Structure 1
Amino acid sequence: MTSPPAATPTGLTIVVATADGERFRTALMMALAQIALGGTARLFLQEGAVALLLPDEVAEDAARYAAAGLPARAAIFADALDAGVAITACQSGLALIGATADRFDPRIEWGGMIGLLQSLDQDRLVVI
């Protein structure tokens, strides 16, 4: 008896809908797991969630996670970018939080929901 062929890795697109650090952390972990399985992953941060990408916000939970022996969100975020997770932030969110794009990691792309949905192709879509 032969085994069924392995499933072809598909893409995973995760929409981070709120400025909740725990949800963002979970989205990063999901994206890294998808990359580890041989697929592609990307995150889209909607409106107020864009604030989670600011360097000081990414680093805010470091002490709490270090006390538990876990990596901080900043380390997971850096790992995700280094692993090839594409991160797109909502252009409207930039205006909403009163920031400019030069305050963010240059690997972050800027776009909108229409562009995201147009480019889904065969990706699985998760909203968190």
Structure 2
Amino acid sequence: MRGLTLIVATGDIERFRAALALACAHAALGGQARVYAHEAAVPLLVPGADPDDTALPAHGFATRAQLLAEAHQAGVRLIACQTGLAAAGLSFDALAAGTEPGGLISLMAELGNDRLVAF
């Protein structure tokens, strides 16, 4: 199965949740998946509560924090844009477990035959 690389380019929580859900589904099917949080998306890698967290489970949806944990358990590689990390003033230690630093050049260099999807 071809790998799946997802680039999240904005700080939109719903798009980020969709990217995580897609990566988790791909991993559940046995594929390798990576989620790259570019610039403004990096703060979404910080675990924590979101305004809609109480409504999501009531409708059968996972929260961002739950999806981050599920992605880590499923072996999805979470990659934080180093420039975005600096711009947000975040410490690498604040990010979700298993998150690694990276950049677009290394991401593209390792792309191989992965499908590439941007959110």
TM-score, length-scaled by structure 2: 0.93
Contact 2:3-2:114 at 8 Å conserved across structures? yes
The amino acid across from 2:23 in the alignment is A
Match of 2:27? 35
- Residue identity opposite 1:13 in structure 2: T
Letter in structure 2 aligned against 1:49:
A
Which position in structure 1 is the counterpart of 2:74?
83
Residue 107 of structure 1 pairs with residue 98 of structure 2: yes
Q: Which has the larger radius of gyration?
A: 1
* 1:48-63 matches, cutoff 5 A: 48-56=40-48, 59-60=49-50, 61-63=52-54
Amino acid at match of 1:21: I
Structure 1 residue 118, shift from structure 2 partner: 0.4
CA distance in 1, matches of 2:62, 2:98: 21
CA contact (8 A) 1:50 1:89 kept: yes
RMSD: 1.1
Q: Distance in 2 between matches of 1:115 and 1:96?
A: 19
> How many percent identity over aligned positions?
47
